[in-house]
Amino acid sequence: MGQYTPMIQQYLKVKAEYPDAFLFFRLGDFYEMFFEDAINASQELEITLTSRDGGSEERIPMCGVPYHSAPGYIDILVGKGYKVAICEQTEDPKQAKGVIKREVVQLITPGTMMEGKGLTDKENNFIASLTVFEDNCFGLAYADLSTGENRVTIIEDRFETVVNEIITIGAREVVVHSDFSEDFKLKLSERSTLTFSIEEDTSLKQEYAPLLTSLQDKRHHAAVNRLLNYLNRTQKRSLDHLQKVSAYMLHQFMKMDYYSKRNLELTETIRSKGKKGSLLWLLDETKTAMGGRMLKQWIDRPLLSMDGILLRQTHVDAFLANYFEREDLRDHLKEVYDLERLAGRVAFGNVNARDLIQLKYSLQQVPVLKSIMESIGKGSLEELTATLDPCEELQDLLERSLIENPPISVKEGGIIQDGFNEDLDRYRDASRNGKKWLAQLEQEERSRTGIKSLKIGYNRIFGYFIEVTKSNLQHLEEGRYERKQTLANAERFITPELKETEALILEAEEKSVDLEYELFKQVRETVKEYIPRLQSLAKVISELDVLQCFATVSEKRHYVKPVFNHKRKMIIRDGRHPVVEKVMNAQEYVPNDCEMDSEREQLLITGPNMSGKSTYMRQIALTAILAQIGCYVPASEAVLPIFDQIFTRIGAADDLISGQSTFMVEMLEAKNAITHATEQSLILFDEIGRGTSTYDGMALAQAIIEYIHQYIGAKTLFSTHYHELTVLEKELPKLRNVHVSAIEQNGKVVFLHKIKQGPADKSYGIHVAQLAELPPKLIQRANEILLTLENMDQPKAELNVRPVPEIREAGPLEQLSLFDEPKKTKKELTSKERKIVEELKSIELLEMNPLQAMNVLYELQKKLKG
């Protein structure tokens, strides 16, 4: 260290405390970075890398950004998953002896952002802490620092459940112990872009004790304390807006793993990872940022409580029955700003006067909202309406204290209204009268000297002055004017009268600005006292916003109120896929029915590609989810059970991150469903087994269907191209065949998208290829080969096609050869072959179904091949 200058030594000491963060080191009007930070930041931010002399022989790499534009650069770094430590000057440079004191005033991380482009209005920004207990349980606590929300749960399950929960909440940062498993970190990183942070301390800080009063489990305390201690250590400021920690259990809500939520595209689409095209996009008719965040949380956690679902339905009924009041409510909700994040900024101390004006406008809407809700009538919404707190005293304070259009800065004056404070009014009066006097003095001096161009000016260095051009200097009265500054073409002077007025004006302006800032801080502190009430108000407004959103979407899309039953009966008439229906706009969507009960547990769905099998399966799941979040559903009639879990295997995609093939992903998702599903669950399997050879896939598909039928009993929709599986309807009493219909017209397939009873009679694969506009010659050749294969038992002379590659005649289960093979001469059977022939003779084929017979023949063939 001794080789560096004192300033660089100071930088290195601070940097040593934050080795995993970019250190923004304040030097005058810039934040500077040195050494590795400078090299990396110049690349990430695309700014110029320079160097400076730091006392050592080699020059030190350096880069910097202006302090006034630093927030934009910080957003970029944090958006890429980095941390930024803000190191400010904590000493007046005029009073400093030696190097100015500096210290880190805040650590900004992906999970602790309070403002900027890194925050999305209708999405939470959660930071989580993960604690591993001795009994292999996991304590998961998480908070949104920008809104103050706090939650905790204990996960007594495998680590995959922890991963799923962290992905569900969308946490961007996870705080763990220093010896946290690297394997666990890897599993988390494979599924989500996360920043990891370390916090060892799980002791309770007394100032946070009130937040934990509702927690009984000691493990909850340990999980939450780790998170709170990290926030306290890194943010170094008031966290008064943090709300009481709410504990929950995963089994209180419908369970869906990460893959199911992705396959169903609940909050983002599979392809673009964006909101458009998702269920959230379809439903989001909310008018406030707070309502948008609550809507996403409800979609992620459908209810299992019948009472909770019915209560939401009753609220939606009330909004549907009062169209004009609902539209009026929507108009006024537009004027409500994000109360949760405004409260967070007040507590954090970075709120400005414009933010408080937004708060004032929002509070002004509350009496109107309350009046509208009361006009809807008493009934189910009465309790919610009663909790709308207008905070009249706070609203009155904001109306009296702040001007309507304040500047962004709170330290340069011009934010407090006249009449709010007597001292401020006196200073302003002196300042305003002083300026009038200056204008009058200017006129008097012009008359006295005869110089029409004479003017009185001001700058921060020299204060007030009288400016006269050099050509007019001879007109000035000697002895009266004292020279203050010489310019190229003019001279600046001051008079005794001007000196006296200058002192009065500048003192009044300086005191006025200082007093305004003090008054603003007092207002801010008063607002801070209202934070709990503002947060409660925000929750009520959010809930009203989501409920009116459900009513608006249900009316606009012609949805129907679902009826629930405990008999595991599901009847959906004219069901639609809500998102596909919206995207199609004017095109007519073909609705479909779905009927399942205790005697009809499984539907085996066949039909050509592109006919709508996957869409049909998804719409059943989305209908269940919509119903269990309290919304109406896209159908003309819906009778539903309450599903405890939804499992899906839809779409083919390799898991490239963890190096797993399509088939392995299929098997893992199938295992997850089979292991955890109950008879109250819903399972959607789309073409299971297609990722391996035909017979392996077919055998696995049948085994899965049979296992679910015999041992689980869950409602299951299973689509397949293995038409051989349709014979299972005769063997499995609770399985039914259905198919998506299509017809052939003029050699082309027309998809009817209609679900009908019974199996499909044709695949139409080549027709689909034709729709994809493959070359006509290729399509023609495919038809010729198909005709040949379908007529294998006829003499070749009768086939009106060109020759095709020789097919080996080894047995019906053998795969087709791509190349001709030389014909073998007839020979005697070996002892091994004779044993296999005897085994074949002993098989009772008539007692087997076709698929079992095929599997037996396949095993015998493998024995022949050795």
What are the respective helix, strand and coil percentages of the chain, to the nearest 5? 45, 20, 35
Nearest-angstrom CA–CA distance, 75 and 117:
6
What is the pLDDT, as a whole number, of residue 224? 96
What is the pLDDT, as a whole number, of residue 499? 84
Total H helices, total E strands in the chain: 27, 27
Query: What are 148's two structure tokens?
Result: 């103050």
* C-alpha to C-alpha distances, 150 to 94, 129, 204, 225, 736, nearest whole angstrom: 44, 11, 16, 12, 47
What is the pLDDT, as a whole number, of residue 765? 67
Percent of the chain with pLDDT over 90: 61
| pLDDT for 799 beyond 60 | no
| pLDDT for 79 beyond 50 | yes
Give the fold, CATH level 3, of 563-771.
Rossmann fold (3.40.50)
Report which of residues 748 and 558 the model is more confident about: 558
What average pLDDT does this structure show over 518-525?
95
What is the pLDDT, as a whole number, of residue 651? 63
Query: What are 721's two structure tokens?
Result: 């191209």
| 803 confidence band (pLDDT: 50, 70, 90) | very low
Is 795 annotated to bind ligand? no
| 380 confidence band (pLDDT: 50, 70, 90) | confident
Distance of CA 694 to the CA centre of its chain: 40
| pLDDT for 328 beyond 80 | yes
Nearest-angstrom CA–CA distance, 572 and 616:
12
| pLDDT for 821 beyond 70 | no
- The rounded mean pLDDT for the chain is 87
What average pLDDT does this structure show over 167-189?
93
What is the pLDDT, as a whole number, of residue 746? 66
- At the second CATH level, the architecture of 422-513 is Orthogonal Bundle (1.10)
Nearest-angstrom CA–CA distance, 262 and 326:
33
Give, in degrees to the nearest 5, the angle at Cα 626 between 590 and 332: 110
3-state secondary structure of 315: helix
What is the pLDDT, as a whole number, of residue 623? 98
| pLDDT for 621 beyond 90 | yes
What is the pLDDT, as a whole number, of residue 809? 40
End-to-end CA distance of the chain: 74
| pLDDT for 758 beyond 50 | yes
What is the pLDDT, as a whole number, of residue 792? 60
Query: What are 8's two structure tokens?
Result: 């660089």
What is the pLDDT, as a whole number, of residue 759? 87
Identity of the amino acid at 285? E
Residue extents of the structural domains in the chain: 6-108, 126-252, 306-388+530-556, 422-513, 563-771, 806-866
Percent of the chain with pLDDT over 70: 90
Is 613 annotated to bind ligand? yes
Is 610 annotated to bind ligand? yes
| pLDDT for 496 beyond 50 | yes
pLDDT, one tens digit per residue, over 537-559 is 999 999 999 999 999 999 999 99
- The least confident of 141-150, 187-196, 275-284 is 187-196
| Edge-to-edge strands, sheet with 490-494 | 455-459, 463-469, 490-494, 482-486
| 65 confidence band (pLDDT: 50, 70, 90) | very high
| pLDDT for 659 beyond 80 | no
How many Cβ atoms from other residues are within 10 Å of residue 683's Cβ? 26
Is 719 annotated to bind ligand? no
| pLDDT for 620 beyond 60 | yes
Q: Do domains 306-388+530-556 and 422-513 have the same CATH topology?
A: yes
Question: Tokens 């390799």 identify what position?
Answer: 654
Write the Ramachandran bin of 478: left for phi over 0, alpha for psi from -120 to 50, otherwise beta: beta
For 306-388+530-556, CATH number out of 3.90.79.10, 1.10.1420.10, 3.40.50.1220, 2.70.70.10 equals 1.10.1420.10
| pLDDT for 529 beyond 50 | yes
What average pLDDT does this structure show over 672-698?
85
| Homologous superfamily of the 126-252 domain (CATH) | MutS, connector domain (3.30.420.110)
DSSP per residue, 67-127: GGGHHHHHHHHHHTT-EEEEEEE-S-TTT-SSSPPEEEEEEE-TTS--SSTT--TTS--EE
E-strand ranges in 713-839 read: 715-719, 735-745, 748-757
Is 585 annotated to bind ligand? no
What is the pLDDT, as a whole number, of residue 795? 44
pLDDT, one tens digit per residue, over 701-711 is 899 999 999 99
| pLDDT for 808 beyond 50 | no
- The least confident of 108-117, 416-425, 599-608, 755-764 is 755-764
* C-alpha to C-alpha distances, 863 to 126, 628, 835, 856, nearest whole angstrom: 58, 53, 10, 11
Is 611 annotated to bind ligand? yes
Query: What are 10's two structure tokens?
Result: 């100071």
- The pTM assigned to this predicted structure is 0.82
Among residues 283, 275, 270, 282, the alpha carbon closest in space to that of 579 is found at 282
H or E segment at 503?
helix 496-529
| pLDDT for 684 beyond 70 | yes
What is the pLDDT, as a whole number, of residue 846? 64
Length of the chain: 866
Report which of residues 242 and 769 the model is more confident about: 242
Is 148 annotated to bind ligand? no
Query: What are 235's two structure tokens?
Result: 């943010």
What is the pLDDT, as a whole number, of residue 762? 66
Is 6 annotated to bind ligand? no
Which CATH number does 6-108 carry?
3.40.1170.10
Identity of the amino acid at 857? L
- The least confident of 98-112, 181-195, 379-393, 739-753 is 739-753
Q: Which phi and psi angles does 248 have, rounded to 5°?
A: -145, 165
pLDDT, one tens digit per residue, over 262-316 is 889 999 998 888 899 999 999 999 999 999 999 999 999 999 999 999 999 999 9
Question: Tokens 């998506």 identify what position?
Answer: 740
